Structures are given as C-alpha cells and as structure tokens.
Amino acid sequence: MVVRVPFSPLFASYDLMSEHIDEVIYGDGAEILEECGGFYKIKTDYGYIGWINKENIAKNDLKPNYIVNNSFADLLFEDRNFYKPAMTLPKGARIEVAELGSRYARVKNFDGKHYYIHKEHILPLDSKKDGIRELIVKTALSYLGTQYRWGGRTYNGIDCSGLCFNAYRFNGINIWRDADIDRSDNLKRISLENAKIGDLLFFKGHMALYLGDGRIVHSSASRGYVAIEELNERLKEIYICAGTAF
C-alpha cells in the first residue's frame, strides 16, 4: 500500500484528536497492521507506526522511480500549465514516471490515469549524488522560515526530527524519524569535535543538523520556525551526542 494524497497526518491512535506524530507523503510505502473504524494502523517503509485515514491509502500498483525535488510541484491534467492542477505534491513525493518529454514528464497515478509534472521539479530516485553532505544541508536549509509543527514533514510545517529525517531521506538515506540516535542502525556516535557538515546533533528531546563552526540548522519550537543558530549555553546544557552516517 502507498500514500495516495499529497501528504497525510499519522496519529498516535485512531482518533483525529490524538497526538499528531508524523506526516506521510505521496508515494510513501505502508504496511497495514490493523483496522479500526475509518483508520488503518500502518508501518511506513521507514519503520514508523501510526494511524492514518483509510481513504489516504491506495493499493500499491505503482513503481516509484522519481522524487519531487522542488518545494511543491503541480500534477497537471495536460502537458501545459493553463489549467488548475489535479493536485500539488510536496518535496519528497515519490512518483512513477512513464515517459520524459521535452518539458514535462508523464506520470502514472493511482487512479490509472496519467498526469504531467515539470521535469525541472523531479529527480531520479536512484540518481548518484556527489557531495552528499552538502546536499543534505542544502535540503535542510530549503526549509528556513518554515513554521514549527509537531509531527510535520512539509513546507506547511515541520518539526526538528522531521527536518533532519527529510534532509537525509530525500537524498537516499533513511534515519529514524524521532530524535533518538539509538533507533538508527546506520548512525554511529561521534564527539562534537569530530562532527562535520551534515552530521546530526542530538539533544534531550531535540535534534539538529550540524553546519560546522558551532552552528546548526533546526526546527525550533521556542522560535516557532526553522532557523540557523549558534550552539549556545541552553543547547549545550541538553546536548547528548553527535551522530554520523558516514
């Protein structure tokens, strides 16, 4: 099964008023674990478990081969942009491109129809990436000014672990969705002195992406948005460790 809407909240329970723990994005894979009322309990392809509205999941008959690399990208009814889009996909959406044209790519959708998306807004999922640390940082910095949202993962709102998770996942590396280094098998602890650009810093109940020279980019609940900040005394007091996937 896969997510069939631009993005959908994941809840801690089968209740719209329960904790908003994550957001899944169009094309994300999901395994159904349980059903209750209008909800499925799912396990995402990155191992996170939560409850989602049933109508936001579709049978997995697509083979995503591209990822949206723009902040947002319109899925169009025709290969021209004169009309209202069918839907607008967020960065990180995974799509099946059937054909690349001169300007637009033809995309297969879950309803069996074909739509179009601008070629400049997508990248192959399996594309080789040089300078991966810099690309991870570039992705994180693209969210500067985005409002803080607990459980968020889009430009509509994002939390601290969502920012770091997206920065890695959209560049081909999955880490654990929450601020817990011990849940990521591909991360190893390192000292702050050995941390390099693109590594992760973990704090009590918080995480950030390291920019070097004592600076971080993070989604700050106290500031209310994604910001660049110095490693100040307040952060040093709750610092746990640094982590690297490299």
Compute the distance between CA of residue 162 and CA of residue 171 in angstroms, rounded to an integer: 14
Domain hosting 80: range is: 66-124
Domain with 234 in it: what CATH number? 3.90.1720.10
Domain with 83 in it: what CATH number? 2.30.30.40
* Residue 233 CB coordination number (10 Å): 7
Nearest-10 Cα torsion for 65, 71, 75, 76 = -130
Count: domains in the chain: 3
**Residues 51 and 98 placed together within one structural domain of the fold:** no
pLDDT in tens, 2-20: 999 999 999 999 999 999 9
For the record, the structure tokens of 135 come out as 């690309």
Give the pLDDT score at 61. Answer: 78
**Residues 23 and 119 placed together within one structural domain of the fold:** no
Give the pLDDT score at 59. Answer: 87
* Residue 173 CB coordination number (10 Å): 17
**Residues 77 and 47 placed together within one structural domain of the fold:** no
Give residues with Cβ within 8 angstroms of 139, minimum separation 6. Answer: 166, 167, 170, 171
Ranges in the chain, pLDDT < 50 = none
pTM summary value: 0.95
**Residues 198 and 225 placed together within one structural domain of the fold:** yes
pLDDT in tens, 129-173: 789 999 999 999 999 999 999 999 999 999 999 999 999 999 999
Compute the distance between CA of residue 216 and CA of residue 220 in angstroms, rounded to an integer: 11
Compute the distance between CA of residue 74 and CA of residue 89 in angstroms, rounded to an integer: 6
For the record, the structure tokens of 238 come out as 């709750």
The residue out of 98, 124, 150 marking a domain boundary is 124
